[in-house]
Every structure is written in structure tokens, then in C-alpha cells.
Amino acid sequence: MINQIDNCSIFIAEISEVVIDVEHSIRGTNTNVAYELGYAKGKVPFDYTQTARNPYHNFESLRTDTNANIKENLREKGFEFD
């Protein structure tokens, strides 16, 4: 994953809470994703004004909402899509 981060132009991380310990109902963030996000912030040109939090209810809404938000942000910066 680190090599992919080094070669990417956009980085998206899903950082919702996960169940870490089912028996004790302990929830937390995925430490691998947290590490990758921190690494990306240090490597990929990062614009904190473009950092977004998009709540979702299922995988399909995550996909459609994220795609729409990315395209909207890029259009505002002058990019065009078919």
C-alpha cells in the first residue's frame, strides 16, 4: 500500500470505527488505515481545506456520494468530465 500511496495523485481513506474486540464491545479506528493516512499526509500534496468527512449508511452510498463529492471539488478547480 505504501508504494501505491507514493504513486497516487489522490488519496481516500475510510476511517469509520470498527469493532476491535467483539467480546468486550470495544470499538476503535483501523490502525493500518490511520498509519496510511498519516503517511499519505506526509507524501501526497495535501490540502487541509479539501479534507472532507462524508457520513454514509452502506457501501453503495459511500461509493456514489464520494464520487459525486470528488467530481464537484475537481470541477470547482477547473477540471472537466464527460
**Per-residue model confidence as pLDDT tens digits over 45-66:** 656 555 666 677 777 877 788 8
Radius of gyration of the chain from its Cα atoms, rounded to whole angstroms? 15
What's the pTM?
A: 0.50
Mean pLDDT over 2-8 rounds to 86
In this structure, the answer to whether residues 63 and 77 fall within a common structural domain is yes
Q: Amino acid letter at 22?
A: V
Number of domains in the chain: 2
Mean pLDDT of the chain: 78
Cβ distance 13 to 53 under 8 Å?
Answer: no
Range of the domain at 15: 1-51
In this structure, the answer to whether residues 56 and 78 fall within a common structural domain is yes
For 57-75, b where at least 16 C-beta lie within 10 A, e where not — what string? eeeeebeeeeeeebeeeee
In this structure, the answer to whether residues 25 and 57 fall within a common structural domain is no
In this structure, the answer to whether residues 58 and 27 fall within a common structural domain is no
In this structure, the answer to whether residues 7 and 23 fall within a common structural domain is yes
In this structure, the answer to whether residues 37 and 6 fall within a common structural domain is yes
Classified as helix, coil or strand, 63 is helix
In this structure, the answer to whether residues 42 and 56 fall within a common structural domain is no
